[in-house]
Amino acid sequence: MTADTSARYREFKMPDVGEGLTEAEILKWYVQPGDTVVDGQVVCEVETAKAAVELPIPYDGVVHALRFEEGTTVDVGASIITVDVAPGTPSEAPAPAAPATEPEAEAEAAEPKGRQPVLVGYGVSEASTKRRPRRGAAAVPEQGAAAAAIQAEMNGVPAPAALSRPLAKPPVRKLAKDLGVDLATITPTGPDGIITREDVHAATAPAPSPQAVPVAEPVPAPVAAAPAVAGRETRIPVKGVRKATAAAMVGSAFTAPHVTEFVTVDVTRTMRLVEELKSDKDMAGVRVNPLLLVAKALLVAIKRHPDVNATWDEAAQEIVLKHYVNLGIAAATPRGLLVPNIKDAHDKTLPQLAESLGELVSTAREGKTTPAAMQGGTVTITNVGVFGVDTGTPILNPGESAILAVGAIKLQPWVHKGKVKPRQVTTLALSFDHRLVDGELGSKVLADIAAILEQPKRLITWG
């Protein structure tokens, strides 16, 4: 008689981040089979479409098996690591984990009854969220005919042939429903008899006409493309943050009608103020740079023109005015573009804003920005000047109404007090959603930012 393996071995699943994501890539394992782990110990680092996050294990034990290798993209809910929570007890080894597309009834039955692990922190306890227990195969005959087929599939046993439910992932089922396709009529081509998106699309293709097809005239055979010379090209998989960024930018560019306006401004006085603030005791311990004063200028301009701080609700056909400013800062990282934001930036003093800005940028560059830090932004600043370019036409962050691009600050000839003098000059570009912001409002906001940077004392008189 053997011990209950379901009680001894725990399957830790890829947690649900709670942000609508369905998969994550395992970047690095911090443990190997045979290692002892304790509750709360970080066992791996994963990258979702929004951030890289370290995952803690929710119980004590010894690592029995790692289900996936580094670099593998895993569906949320799939078992990624098996832990022996009662090492030293003689028992049979656990059966291999089911594929990511199949339910894992035994592992779910062994899950702790307290709070459940999610990608960041822990979810609600069982007392507040109840799940109907799954029944074994013996209980199937007690249910109705249709329910029996579904329950049998969930329990991993064959359903009656006449009522077998086609295997397909939820997105594929939704696609079939939207296209009016009955999954039962489709011949699956995916692994283990799973219906794929291609199968659904193929089912919607028109059937070939039974009429005679006229013989086409001979077409010269296409000239084969010259094979690529080894070493001349490199293909990089698009995934993680870069994949999410690409999708977001395409969605934004072809959803929101962009308008971009430009202004060139003398920022000599602002640069002098930056140098003075660096030696100010109230700014000790924080980084002072031109971006800090640009951010403050944008916040003052929004205060003077609050209608620019809004979002477009397509479903409700409403403009939603935001009475707070979550200021996004575009940051280039090794994993791609991230846009974390400073929550309630409008309420922060200049030292507080400088501290938040420094923490945000350093965290992003270290690759430790959390998904929550990138949610809820209202406007964004992108500092392209650090790359030595004059300006650009920035694309709106999805859900936001405006984005300000700051160009390089250069010493240029400038008419100052009736004479041509060398002055420090930059070009600003403001892109905005023309559904929300008309030309007059966008121009006023950009003009105010430029006026503040030209005469930074307006931070006091206007702020």
The residues annotated with a catalytic role in the active site are 434
Spatial neighbors of 409 by CB under 8 A, at least 6 apart, are 267, 271, 290, 385, 424, 425, 426
* Cα separations in angstroms, 191 against 84, 100, 155, 180, 194: 30, 12, 19, 24, 6
Among residues 270, 409, 277, the alpha carbon closest in space to that of 353 is found at 277
Query: 60-77 b/e with 16+ CB inside 10 Å = b?
Result: bbbbbbbbbeeeebbebb
Among residues 453, 457, 455, the alpha carbon closest in space to that of 430 is found at 453
Rg of the chain (C-alpha set)? 29
**Residue 299 φ then ψ, to 5°:** -65, -40
Spatial neighbors of 436 by CB under 8 A, at least 6 apart, are 307, 308, 310, 311, 312, 319, 401
Around Cβ 241, how many Cβ atoms within 10 Å? Answer: 22
Report d(CA 170, CA 167) in Å as an integer: 10
Report d(CA 75, CA 194) in Å as an integer: 15
Characterize the bridge pairing of strands 402-406 and 331-333.
Answer: unpaired
Report d(CA 45, CA 350) in Å as an integer: 35
In DSSP notation, 114-139 reads SPPB-SSSB---TTTS--PPPP-GGG
* Helices and strands: H and E segment counts in the chain: 11, 21
